[in-house]
Amino acid sequence: MTAKMKSGEIVTLAKDCGCINHNEPHWVYEDRLFREMNRKLLIPKEGQHHPSMMALHGFVIEDLARVQEKLRNMESRGIVELIDEPSDELTELQKRRYQDHLKYVRSLYEPEKPEEMPSLNDVRVAAKRRF
């Protein structure tokens, strides 16, 4: 990601975290994430043609806070414009590694499956019962 500074200079913004699911600075990633979540408030509920007034009100409150935070971040860094680049997108390898990481993390929280009870007709079980 590049940015236009107050001085007019174009600079490359360095990634400032160890996250594996984005290539831009973390505050930019969070802004995109919150924008996406806020926009879901505008999706009408089933059976409605328009979002409810409560949803619109929630969107305005949340998106205002998001934009204020983004502007604070930009002003503190002297940025006047953010410029997207193709390198901001994850490569196929990064996407695959991220998906593998998600599978691993989810596996840590899956309940363990109980061991199947051996069949009493199994030869090995019958042999153990004889002794």
Domain enclosing residue 94, as ranges? 2-111
Tokens representing 56 are 């619109």
Does a structural domain hold residue 125?
A: no
Give yes or no for residue 111 having a pLDDT over 90.
no
- List C-alpha distances in Å: 92 to 49, 85, 95: 37, 16, 5
Does a structural domain hold residue 30?
A: yes
Helical (H) or strand (E) element with 39: helix 26-39
Average of per-residue pLDDT across 75-100: 93
CA-nearest of 37, 26, 40, 18 to 70 is 26
Relative to beta strand 10-12, strand 2-5 is antiparallel
Between 129 and 32, residue with greater pLDDT: 32
Q: Hey, which bits of the chain come out as E strands?
A: 2-5, 10-12, 79-83
Q: How many CB atoms lie within 10 A of CB 90?
A: 15
Q: How far apart are CA 28 and CA 70, in angstroms?
A: 8
Domain count within the chain: 1
Would you say 62 and 33 are in contact if contact means Cβ atoms under 8 Å apart? Answer: no
Does a structural domain hold residue 31?
A: yes
Does a structural domain hold residue 118?
A: no
Does a structural domain hold residue 6?
A: yes
Does a structural domain hold residue 106?
A: yes
Would you say 15 and 24 are in contact if contact means Cβ atoms under 8 Å apart? Answer: yes
Would you say 17 and 26 are in contact if contact means Cβ atoms under 8 Å apart? Answer: yes
Does a structural domain hold residue 124?
A: no
Does a structural domain hold residue 129?
A: no
Q: How far apart are CA 51 and CA 54, in angstroms?
A: 8
7-63 per-position pLDDT tens digit: 999 999 989 999 999 999 999 999 999 999 999 989 998 888 888 899 999 999 999
